[in-house]
């Protein structure tokens, strides 16, 4: 089963992610911010991490940096999912090791699932 | 006739001329043009001079003037000619320019005899028992030279709203500090020698809270207009070109409007009902770059830029020819082909029968843009000179280039070895420092850097160790008066002759306003993108999942309703995206990054991605793409958007089983794309508006409910930014062909901080 860790601070999106992952048959943990991502990673080894950018406590960029500098986590693909689409940001985040960048509002739920599948390379 | 002469202060003479008329009126601040016929043969340049009229109220048929004595032929005549000598007087002329009248507070700064226009006003106010709030700063080299001092002091004493500061010394901006107690919403009026006034006008806005637009000065011929010469006395110089204006100006409302307009630097024109120009003022001539002779008799349309859709011009004519006032912003074309934007008001004038006889237009140059351009030009010239080492600090600081001084650019030269930092006045003014404070060092300069960036800026400056190295940065500073500003610094390192060390030469300019606007725009873009898109995402995903049956199969109408919900959400998302792209483009910070692009592949890839839509509608798709197209250097992010918009439109607005043809060919200069459909077409009356924002033709709204009305507007912007042009041909119910070109030479790259969101 594909294991997904998602950080999303918007209450509604947080809730939908849970439902979406459940329907897709993924094992998912949805948390509210970067700090919780780092905490969750200590006991949960996901196949992919979906990171929002603007989050309280620890934002997406900082979280990505911590993931990519930790030898234990750096191989986990990270999808940046944000509604802010500044090109410079995208380039920077990709250079920092993000697998891809998703503008949420332009993606259907199916497209999100597809994206996760493509990034995890069909992890079982 | 020269009637009286007396000394009113040290070296200052008052002369009274008696007029051969019982009736002479003038408005305070107006002036008289005096010509001494006997000088015409000796020294024609000196035979005519202008003087402010200071005739006391209720003394008809005399003109009183006062002046500083000098050795000039003209003044010698006035000082020495026998009483009773004849002169020609053309009066009253010009106006004491006060944009809003005396209803707002006034700051009046006079140097020496620059007090006379105000004196004229004060006497008039005194006579009519009218009191306004006026702050006077009057600068004289010594008190004995202050003509009419006791009279002005007396008026100030009995009127508490008039505050008089008499300053002994030489006029400079810093001496005003402490004398001016209000500057907010006040009009400023500067009067004295033109060079001093010019210097002060540039510097005052840097020191006081006053905008450049609110500072006025005397308008003598050559500086301004002689619009008010409708009352001409004893003159051989009958003005000819303003004869029509004279009639019009008999209408007091018109006179007042003209008065205001000229004073505010408005471009004015009078045309007949066909639009043939009968009169233009000097501002109009300066801005349009045509001479008066070239303009008068021509139709006003010679200034038309053609940059607006025909509907704009039609709306203008429809409005004014129906007798209504038209207001709007118009882009016009000057003689040299350059464009200028003007805020325009056109007022129809009726004849006694109530028919439209003429149109008066007033246009105000849209500044900001103009200033920014001047600044940019000045900076570029300067950098060129620095680059080619054509100039050095001494020269730079002496340079009286108006563009540079009006752009308020500070220069500096820093020699780290000697620990010396030479700067000009503008540099000090940007930091709100006293102009005497010229002994700066990098250490004292850096005291004004904002603490957050101080180390970084100093580090960057000290890193400039190789000749030829360039530095450009924005620095947050806290000025001597604790004002926070954003200062742009551009500098270049240069070698010093016969020395291994280097010096740094550069310019600084205050870009606070610009930075604020940029910040607001950026904030808006991120706000719009994040705050609008996030809730939209939630609606989209919920309805998406409902529709898929993730929460149980939907029944009958439920499915239709949720599907409508999803459609609307997608429309909203597209609207947000299109708006974002337009604001990105309009912010001017969009990056254009041309790369050699295979257009054929770009088009076919896109068409493949929308195949399902094409197949659903059973559309017949034809490609006619030239085989030898090769690669063209364009920004694919921009151009893909163009193809997407045009092809999607063709698909959407063509009924089932129609045909869409995509043709890409090329000629010598351009790659030409034609996208034709056999669709609903664009109705004639909608054709003019098709590229306007938020416009959607009525006929297609029935067939396709979605559509933001922004696609074609965006498409046009993108094609033009890529160096091409777009047009279309359409017939209702037959189809539409959009044609756009892209230059074969490729799009020019443009640096920027943002890119398009495809």
Asked if residue B90 lies in contact with residue B237, where contact means CB atoms within 8 angstroms, the answer is: yes
pLDDT at B743 over 80: yes
Q: What per-residue confidence (pLDDT) applies to B218?
A: 67
Residue of chain B whose alpha carbon sits nearest to that of A24: B550
| Facing A83 at nearest CB: one of B537, B550, B754 | B537
Asked if residue B277 lies in contact with residue B259, where contact means CB atoms within 8 angstroms, the answer is: no
Q: What per-residue confidence (pLDDT) applies to B369?
A: 47
Report the distance separating Cα B155 and Cα B644, nearest Å.
Answer: 74
The pTM assigned to this predicted structure is 0.41
pLDDT tens across B670-683, in order? 899 999 999 888 88
Report the distance separating Cα B138 and Cα B498, nearest Å.
Answer: 51
pLDDT band at B213 (very low <50, low <70, confident <90, very high): confident
Residue of chain B whose alpha carbon sits nearest to that of A25: B550
pLDDT band at B286 (very low <50, low <70, confident <90, very high): confident
Taking an 8 Å cut-off on Cβ atoms, the answer to whether B538 and A84 are in contact is no
Q: What per-residue confidence (pLDDT) applies to B231?
A: 28
Q: What per-residue confidence (pLDDT) applies to B708?
A: 67
Taking an 8 Å cut-off on Cβ atoms, the answer to whether B577 and A86 are in contact is no
Mean pLDDT to the nearest integer, B302-315: 81
- Residue B399, phi then psi, degrees to nearest 5: -60, 130
Asked if residue B648 lies in contact with residue B700, where contact means CB atoms within 8 angstroms, the answer is: no
pLDDT tens across B420-451, in order? 888 877 788 888 888 777 678 888 888 899 88
Report the distance separating Cα B516 and Cα B731, nearest Å.
Answer: 47
Q: What per-residue confidence (pLDDT) applies to B229?
A: 29
Buried b (16+ CB within 10 A) or exposed e, B289-304: ebeeeebbeeebeebe
Mean pLDDT to the nearest integer, A64-93: 84
Which of B227-231, B554-558, B746-750 comes out lowest in average pLDDT? B227-231
Which of A119-123, B686-690, B708-712 comes out lowest in average pLDDT? A119-123
pLDDT at B112 over 50: yes
Per-residue three-class SS string for B16-75: EEECCCCCCCCCCCCEEEEECCCHHHHCHHHCEEEEECCCCCCCCCEEEEEEECCCCHHH
Buried b (16+ CB within 10 A) or exposed e, B168-200: eeebebeebeebbeebeebbbbbbbeeebbbbb
The 3-state DSSP class for residue B700 equals: helix
Q: Which residues of B touch A16 (CB under 8 A)?
A: 538, 541-542, 545
Number of Cβ pairs < 8 A linking chain A and chain B:
64
| Residue, of B596 and B218, whose pLDDT is higher | B596
Q: What per-residue confidence (pLDDT) applies to B526?
A: 62
| Separation in Å, CA of B551 to nearest CA in chain A | 9
Q: What per-residue confidence (pLDDT) applies to B99?
A: 38
Which of A64-68, B490-494, B542-546 comes out lowest in average pLDDT? B490-494
pLDDT band at B382 (very low <50, low <70, confident <90, very high): low
Report the distance separating Cα B290 and Cα B334, nearest Å.
Answer: 7
Q: Enumerate residues 6+ apart whose C-beta is below 8 A from B149.
A: B9, B143, B166
Taking an 8 Å cut-off on Cβ atoms, the answer to whether A84 and B530 are in contact is yes
Mean pLDDT to the nearest integer, B510-519: 76
- Give ipTM to 2 decimals: 0.85
pLDDT averaged over every residue in chain B = 78
Residue with tokens 């929308």: B610
Q: Which residues of A touch B638 (CB under 8 A)?
A: none
| Facing A83 at nearest CB: one of B529, B544, B754 | B529
| Facing B529 at nearest CB: one of A13, A20, A84 | A84
| Facing B533 at nearest CB: one of A23, A104, A108 | A104
Taking an 8 Å cut-off on Cβ atoms, the answer to whether A16 and B534 are in contact is no
* Residues belonging to chain B with any Cβ–Cβ distance to chain A shorter than 8 Å: 526, 529-530, 533-538, 540-542, 544-545, 548, 550, 573, 576-577, 591, 753-755, 757
Report the distance separating Cα B18 and Cα B384, nearest Å.
Answer: 59
| Separation in Å, CA of B665 to nearest CA in chain A | 32
**Cβ neighbours, 10 Å, residue B656:** 8
pLDDT band at B694 (very low <50, low <70, confident <90, very high): low
Count of alpha carbons within 13 angstroms of residue B185, beta-carbon side: 5
Can you point out the beta strands (E) in B496-649? 502-510, 595-598, 620-625, 631-634
Q: How are beta strands B134-140 and B162-168 bridged, if at all? A: parallel
| Residue, of B369 and B241, whose pLDDT is higher | B369
To the nearest 10 degrees (0 to 180), the angle between helices A109-120 and A11-24 is 60
Q: Which residues of A touch B538 (CB under 8 A)?
A: 10, 12-13, 16
pLDDT tens across B444-470, in order? 888 899 888 888 888 888 888 777 777
pLDDT at B100 over 50: no
Could you tell me the end-to-end alpha-carbon distance of chain B, in angstroms, rounded to an integer? 80
Residue with tokens 């600084």: B508
Taking an 8 Å cut-off on Cβ atoms, the answer to whether A10 and B534 are in contact is yes
Burial of B654 (0-12, 13-18, 19+ CB in 10 A): buried
For residue B207, what are its two tokens?
Answer: 């020191």
pLDDT at A115 over 50: yes
Q: What per-residue confidence (pLDDT) applies to B228?
A: 31
Q: Enumerate residues 6+ apart whose C-beta is below 8 A from B205.
A: B211, B212, B215
% of chain B surpassing 70 pLDDT = 79
């Amino acid at each position: 089963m594909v294991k997904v860790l998602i950080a999303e601070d918007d209450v509604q999106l947080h809730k939908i992610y849970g439902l979406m992952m459940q329907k897709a048959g993924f094992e998912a943990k949805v948390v509210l911010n970067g700090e919780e991502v780092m905490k969750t990673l200590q006991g949960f080894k996901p196949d992919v991490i979906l990171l929002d950018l603007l989050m309280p406590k620890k934002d997406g960029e900082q979280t990505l940096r911590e993931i990519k500098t930790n030898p234990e986590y750096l191989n986990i693909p990270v999808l940046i999912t944000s509604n802010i689409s500044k090109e410079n940001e995208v380039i920077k985040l990709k250079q920092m090791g993000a697998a891809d960048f998703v503008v949420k509002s332009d993606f259907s739920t199916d497209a999100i699932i597809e994206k996760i599948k493509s990034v995890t390379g069909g992890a079982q | 006739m020269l009637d009286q002469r007396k000394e009113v202060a040290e070296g200052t003479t008052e002369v009274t001329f008696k007029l051969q008329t019982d009736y002479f009126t003038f408005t305070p601040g107006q002036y008289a043009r005096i010509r001494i016929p006997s000088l015409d043969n000796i020294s024609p340049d000196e035979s005519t001079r202008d003087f402010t009229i200071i005739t006391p109220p209720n003394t008809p048929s005399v003109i009183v003037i006062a002046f500083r004595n000098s050795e000039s032929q003209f003044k010698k005549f006035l000082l020495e000619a026998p009483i009773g000598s004849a002169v020609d007087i053309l009066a009253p002329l010009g106006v004491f320019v006060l944009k809003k009248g005396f209803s707002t507070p006034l700051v009046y700064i006079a140097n020496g005899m620059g007090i006379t226009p105000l004196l004229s006003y004060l006497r008039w106010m005194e006579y009519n028992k009218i009191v306004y709030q006026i702050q006077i700063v009057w600068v004289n080299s010594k008190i004995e030279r202050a003509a009419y001092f006791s009279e002005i002091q007396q008026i100030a004493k009995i009127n508490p709203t008039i505050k008089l500061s008499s300053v002994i010394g030489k006029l400079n901006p810093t001496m005003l500090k402490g004398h001016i107690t209000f500057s907010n919403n006040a009009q400023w009026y500067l009067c004295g020698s033109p060079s001093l006034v010019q210097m002060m006008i540039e510097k005052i806005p840097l020191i006081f809270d006053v905008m450049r637009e609110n500072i006025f000065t005397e308008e003598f011929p050559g500086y301004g207009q002689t619009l008010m010469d409708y009352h001409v006395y004893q003159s051989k110089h009958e003005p000819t070109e303003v004869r029509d204006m004279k009639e019009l100006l008999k209408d007091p409302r018109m006179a007042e409007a003209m008065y205001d307009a000229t004073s505010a630097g408005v471009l004015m024109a009078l045309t007949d009902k066909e639009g043939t120009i009968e009169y233009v003022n000097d501002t109009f001539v300066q801005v349009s770059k045509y001479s008066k002779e070239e303009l008068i008799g021509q139709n006003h349309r010679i200034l038309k830029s053609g940059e607006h859709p025909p509907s704009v011009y039609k709306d203008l004519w429809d409005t004014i020819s129906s007798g209504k006032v038209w207001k709007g912003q118009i882009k016009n074309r000057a003689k040299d082909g350059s464009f200028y934007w003007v805020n325009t008001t056109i007022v129809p004038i009726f004849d006694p029968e109530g028919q439209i006889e003429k149109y008066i237009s007033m246009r105000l140059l849209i500044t900001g843009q103009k200033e920014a351009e001047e600044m940019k030009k000045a900076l570029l010239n300067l950098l060129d000179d620095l680059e080619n080492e054509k100039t050095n600090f001494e020269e730079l600081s002496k340079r009286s280039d108006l563009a540079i001084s009006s752009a308020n650019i500070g220069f500096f030269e820093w020699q780290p070895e000697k620990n010396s930092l030479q700067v000009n006045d503008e540099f000090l003014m940007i930091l709100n420092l006293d102009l005497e404070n010229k002994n700066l060092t990098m250490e004292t300069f850096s005291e004004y850097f904002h603490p957050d960036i101080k180390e970084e800026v100093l580090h960057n400056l000290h890193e400039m160790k190789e000749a030829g190295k360039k530095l450009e940065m924005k620095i947050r500073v806290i000025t001597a008066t604790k004002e926070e500003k954003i200062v742009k610094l551009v500098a270049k390192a240069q070698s010093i002759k016969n020395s291994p060390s280097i010096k740094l030469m550069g310019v600084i300019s205050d870009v606070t306003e610009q930075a604020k606007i940029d910040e607001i725009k950026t904030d808006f873009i991120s706000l719009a993108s994040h705050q609008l898109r996030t809730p939209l995402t939630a609606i989209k995903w919920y309805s998406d999942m409902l529709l898929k049956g993730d929460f149980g199969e939907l029944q009958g109408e439920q499915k239709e309703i949720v599907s409508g919900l999803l459609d609307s959400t997608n429309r909203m998302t597209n609207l947000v995206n299109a708006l974002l792209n337009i604001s990105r483009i309009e912010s001017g910070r969009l990056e254009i990054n041309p790369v050699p692009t295979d257009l054929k592949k770009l088009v076919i890839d896109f068409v493949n991605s929308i195949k399902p839509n094409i197949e659903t509608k059973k559309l017949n798709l034809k490609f006619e793409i030239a085989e030898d197209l090769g690669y063209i250097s364009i920004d694919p992010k921009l151009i893909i958007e163009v193809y997407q918009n045009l092809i999607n439109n063709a698909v959407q607005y063509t009924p089932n089983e129609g045909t869409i043809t995509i043709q890409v060919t090329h000629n010598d200069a351009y790659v030409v794309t034609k996208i034709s459909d056999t669709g609903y077409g664009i109705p004639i009356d909608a054709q003019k508006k098709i590229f306007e924002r938020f416009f959607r033709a009525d006929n297609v709204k029935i067939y396709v409910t979605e559509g933001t009305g922004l696609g074609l507007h965006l498409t046009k912007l993108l094609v033009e930014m890529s160096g091409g042009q777009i047009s279309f041909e359409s017939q209702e119910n037959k189809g539409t062909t959009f044609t756009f070109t892209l230059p074969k030479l490729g799009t020019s790259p443009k640096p920027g901080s943002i890119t398009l969101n495809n």
